[in-house]
Chains A and B, each alone.
Chain A
Amino acid sequence: MSDKIPVTVLTGYFGAGKTTLLNRILSEPHGKKYAVIVNEFGEIGIDNDLIVGADEEVFEMNNGCVCCTVRGDLIRIIDGLLKRKGKFDGILVETTGLADPAPVAQTFFVDETVSGKTSLDAVVTVVDAKWLNDRLKDAPEAKNQIAFADVIVLNKTDLVTPDELKDVELRIRAINPFAKIHKTSRSAVALDDVLSQGAFDLDRILAIEPHFLEGGHHHHDEDVQSFSFSADAPLDAKTFFAWIDNVSQIQGPNILRAKGILSFKDDPQRYVMQGVHMMFEGDHQRDWREDEKRESRIVFIGRDLNQKALQEGFEACIAK
């Protein structure tokens, strides 16, 4: 997995500070070169011969799955960029303010070239601390962007009071308790907190918010929920894959994101997986270390999820 080119997806509603963050990434002396896929050429103030304009063409796939949409333009552009690999260390994809992150994320699962040669490093969502509460009321896109995020840059914190900031943070946590939140003004977040995240690596997320993973934790947003389940005893791989396949078929349309680190019986390696709607992928990551607890954890973020069915299904995967 390590030789795949990391892709960072930058989302956020209009005016949240995406372009400021993008310009910072491109101008800071981090010694890395990025190919950048943007929607508005003019807003990028940096010279870079690998800036590409995209059209946000969302296509349905003919695979009998209604929610399976991909970004056709991204497939085409990444195909083209891959002919110049060696010229850049990573790819940044900026989406428009109204973009649903699902087709972007699904592109990295569906297309075999894209998924074979690149990996979705993280979905980074820039959020405007002052206006988020309003956006959550009138813009469903804003909520999806938060639900999808691995990293949330909570921006413009200088424009709100400490109490307002706390309230916004709680609103974000209610939608997505698993993302890392960085509070900033003028998108001045440390780039190490945005790039090279390894969305697969749940460890750091757990380190930040360990209490969220204490069995079946549940937060209340009006329509987006998140659940996490864990098991100390190893899982039966066959039962688990049959179950997750079934979950993706039945609850897939409602699942915005899912992630897991899994310990299977008689398997010395950690298995990591992630999913978007009906699409799931996973791989062995590395050997379990002697000093780490062999524990399986899985999280779901979505709408109208059947918590009881998910929990019972997961628990039934524990090896007998």
Chain B
Amino acid sequence: MAENEVRSVAELVKLCEAGAHVVACGFLGDEAVFATGEGEIAFVSGKKVGAHPNGGILEAICDGGRMITCGDDGRVVATDAEGRTEILAEVKGKWIDHVALGPDGMIAWSAGKTAYVKTKKGERSLDVATTVGGLAFAPKGFRLAVAHYNGVSLWFPNSDAKPDVLEWKGSHLGVLWSVDGKFLITTMQEPAMHGWRLADNKHMRMSGYPMRVRSMSFSHDGKLLATSGAESIILWPFGTKDGPMGKDPGMLAPAREGSRVTCVACHPEKEAVAVGYSDGMVMMARISDAAEILIRGPEGGEVTALAWRKDGAALAYGTDEGKAGVLNP
């Protein structure tokens, strides 16, 4: 579709200065918030909360009630809609690189080679052989996937059993469970993803990317996995028991020349994907007919965060230059 045919809703966006690299965004109640590299939670209303004073936020995740952040100050902090902060965990003298939220509000984090989980019995930890690349809770049950070099450890924190290890050579970074919990997918240091069908540990290689994949998001029904890392959104089919094995991915919302997809977020109810690019452009694309709606023009900065409000009526974005905005605030 030619550019002049794309409908723009940029005038419906409320702009916001997050002040620093936006690591993640989300909604606390109805209000959009942005977690920044300078340790702050910036509310779209202009309020800023120093969640990690003198520190930087490395990763953040939001459940609608709390923005959970981890930082180079060795802390995991929760910030609520009123701007109150609470230190949930602390590892002295270390960076806390990753944080994950479980289905019942459970929290996991990692520092170096150790993954931690807060359980009813207290804190439990798991040491793996190399630095943890990413964490993700299974959609059901109390099980944590810990990505590392040469594979992923699947750990039941409430059990003393040794974790199951899914092996695949290379450095595994991001990790994600499919919506039905039947597949586990990792992003790798190489421009590729790897996956396992957990029923039989069968491997799935998802490669062909020009760049490292940094963002992935399942559609609300779990049938498609959208990823960054290419000139378009890449959509892997997960609708059958074989997942994407032996199938080609779909492509959606091509970038302008010289730009790449850096961030994706599937709509929580509809067949649509929000997409951010390395030139700062933000769009929404409908999967059925590839129709596109422009949310932010290619105004510079790289889009580093995207999040839908739970009801799907509002969308927040942020860039590495600290620019942020909310569609339909």
Using a CB–CB cutoff of 8 Å, the interface residues on chain A facing chain B are 41, 49, 52-53, 55, 57, 59-63, 70, 72-73, 75-77, 80, 82-87, 111-113
Contact = CB atoms under 8 A, between A and B. Distances in A.
Contact of B212 (A52, A77, A85, A112): A112
B149 A57 contact: yes
Contacts of B36: 83
B131 interface: yes
Given A52-B72, A73-B131, A76-B97, A84 B149 contact: no
Contacts of B95: 52, 77, 80
B29 to A, nearest CB: 26
Given A55-B112, A57-B149, A83 B56 contact: yes
A108 B212 CA distance: 15
B149 A59 contact: yes
A87 B19 CA distance: 13
Contacts of A62: 169-170, 188, 190, 192
17 contacts: A55-B113, A55-B131, A59-B171, A62-B170, A63-B190, A75-B189, A77-B95, A80-B95, A80-B97, A82-B37, A83-B20, A83-B56, A83-B57, A83-B58, A84-B37, A85-B37, A87-B38
The 7 closest A-B pairs by CB, nearest first: A83-B37, A83-B21, A84-B56, A62-B170, A84-B37, A59-B171, A62-B190
B149 A53 contact: no
Contacts of B188: 62
A55 B94 CA distance: 12
Given A80-B56, A83-B58, A57 B130 contact: yes
Nearest to B190: A62
Contacts of A59: 149, 170-171, 189
A198 B20 CA distance: 28
Interface magnitude class on chain B:
20 to 34
B152 interface: no
A247 B325 CA distance: 49
A85 B302 CA distance: 14
Given A61-B190, A72-B189, A80 B130 contact: no
Interface of B: 20-21, 23, 36-38, 54, 56-58, 72, 93-95, 97, 112-113, 130-131, 133, 149, 169-171, 188-190, 192, 211-212, 320
A112 B228 CA distance: 14
Nearest to A83: B37
Contacts of B23: 83
A80 B72 contact: yes
